């Protein structure tokens, strides 16, 4: 839900005029779609039908990459928000920056728990 807020707040503006917001949109939409995909896989327990895939490693790599790229996107988003750019879109861009950092912290927590899960699997 928070990732959805990031890209809808930016999508409602003229973000295409500023390349930095295009990068933030790419990261936000890409990881939102992948997160929904993995959510469906886990909720339907499809992962139990494909035991060949190391799901703990997949989760760790996914969450780790999401954390790193979202952190970069959040920093780019925050550094690109100025009233000089376009005061009409300022509030939406500022809110998207805030939520990008919230989503980054969520992916950081998920990365930590994925690492714990992966570590416990490799020790067995």
Predicted pLDDT at 3: 86
Supply 70's token pair: 């979202």
Q: Is the pLDDT of residue 90 over 90?
A: no
Predicted pLDDT at 38: 93
Kindly state the average pLDDT of the residues 91-111: 93
Predicted pLDDT at 40: 95
Q: Which residue has the tokens 């503006």?
A: 13
Residue of 102, 101, 114 lying closest to 72 (CA atoms): 101
Estimate the share of the chain in helix, then strand, then coil, as percent rounded to the nearest 5: 80, 0, 20
Q: Which residue has the tokens 């990459």?
A: 65
Kindly state the average pLDDT of the residues 73-88: 82
Q: Is the pLDDT of residue 42 over 70?
A: yes
Of residues 88 and 73, more confidence is placed in 73
Q: Is the pLDDT of residue 124 over 60?
A: no
Q: Which of 28-42, 43-57, 60-74, 76-90 has the lowest mean pLDDT?
A: 76-90
Q: Which of 6-10, 26-30, 37-41 has the lowest mean pLDDT?
A: 6-10
Predicted pLDDT at 12: 82
| Average pLDDT of the chain to the nearest whole number | 89
Query: Where does residue 63 rank: exposed (0-12), middle (13-18), buried (19+ CB within 10 A)?
Result: buried
Note the pTM of the prediction, 2 decimals.
Answer: 0.86
């Amino acid at each position: 839900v928070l990732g959805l807020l990031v890209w809808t707040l930016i999508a409602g503006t003229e973000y295409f005029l500023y390349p930095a917001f295009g990068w933030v949109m790419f990261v936000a939409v890409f990881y939102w779609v992948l997160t929904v995909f993995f959510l469906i896989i886990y909720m339907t327990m499809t992962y139990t039908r494909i035991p060949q895939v190391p799901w703990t490693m997949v989760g760790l790599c996914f969450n780790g990459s999401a954390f790193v790229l979202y952190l970069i996107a959040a920093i780019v988003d925050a550094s690109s928000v100025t009233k000089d750019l376009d005061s009409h879109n300022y509030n939406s861009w500022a809110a998207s920056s805030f939520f990008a950092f919230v989503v980054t912290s969520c992916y950081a927590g998920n990365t930590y728990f994925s690492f714990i899960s992966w570590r416990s699997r490799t020790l067995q």
